[in-house]
Every structure is written in structure tokens, then in C-alpha cells.
Copies of this chain bind each other. A is one copy, B any other.
Amino acid sequence: MTHRREQGIGSLSRLAEVNIETIRYYERVGLLPSPPRTPGGHRSYSDDHRRRLVFIRRSRELGFTVDEIRNLLDLVEGGHGCGDIQEAALRHLEDIRGKIADLERMARTLAETAARCEGGDAPECPILDILSEEDKPL
């Protein structure tokens, strides 16, 4: 029986591995519900908050935006089945693959161009050429 009861924001921060300031930020933007407060006004979190916060962190680690996470959380709350969630994940996967493709184009261009450099003090520099000659396509 792991009965961790109410806990402060610092403890939640350590358990969920999320910055304290970030936790308050998530509350402000409506990702994490406002917890009850102690008589003195300190936030007091339950295990449910912790689970939700871990969900948020993991989603961020997988590259979901705050907006997308809001949607994911709505799907979960709404008791939607696996299908909708899978669909959201696959959409996001496509985004990621698009970004990878962009970066690979950049990397290819840079690598190819840098390979043509002679280095040293050579005045001619193929990198400068592709950067400044506007009529040559990348």
C-alpha cells in the first residue's frame, strides 16, 4: 500500500520530475487542475495530480504541444477508446517525421557543402557561396 497523501509542490516536483515553476505554469494554462490549498495558501496535491503531471511530462518528451496534450487529456477524460488516442498519436507521428525530413535536408546540404571546403585560409569558400548567392537553389 503506497499511501502517499497530500503533498506540497516541491515534493510533487521531485516525484514527477517537473520544475516547480513549470507546474504552476501548467496550472495557469489549464493542463493541471488547481489543487486545494492549505489554510496558508500553499498548494496541496494528491496522487491523481501526480499521475496527470507525469502524463503531461511524458507527452512533452514525445514532442506533443501543450494544445495537443490538452486534447489528449480530453480524450482520456471523455472515456474515449484506444482508437481516438491512436489516431492523435499517428497524426503527431507524421508531424515528427516531417520535422526529421526538414532537418535531414539541412544536414545533407551542410555536410555536402562543408566537404567541398578546402579549409585553412582559402579565400574561396563553398559555404559562403551557397549562403549568399541567391540564384543557386539550396
A positions within 8 Å CB-CB of B = 16, 51-52, 54-55, 58-59, 61-63, 72, 76, 81-83, 85-86, 89-90, 92-93, 96-97, 99-100, 103-104, 106-107, 109-111, 113-114, 117-128, 130-134, 138
Contact = CB atoms under 8 A, between A and B. Distances in A.
Contacts of A96: 103, 106-107, 110
B97 A107 contact: yes
A101 to B, nearest CB: 10
B130 A81 contact: no
Nearest to A109: B62
28 contacts: A16-B134, A52-B132, A54-B132, A55-B131, A58-B131, A58-B134, A61-B106, A62-B109, A72-B131, A81-B119, A81-B125, A82-B117, A82-B120, A82-B127, A82-B128, A83-B122, A85-B117, A85-B125, A85-B128, A86-B114, A86-B119, A89-B127, A90-B110, A90-B114, A93-B111, A96-B110, A100-B103, A100-B107
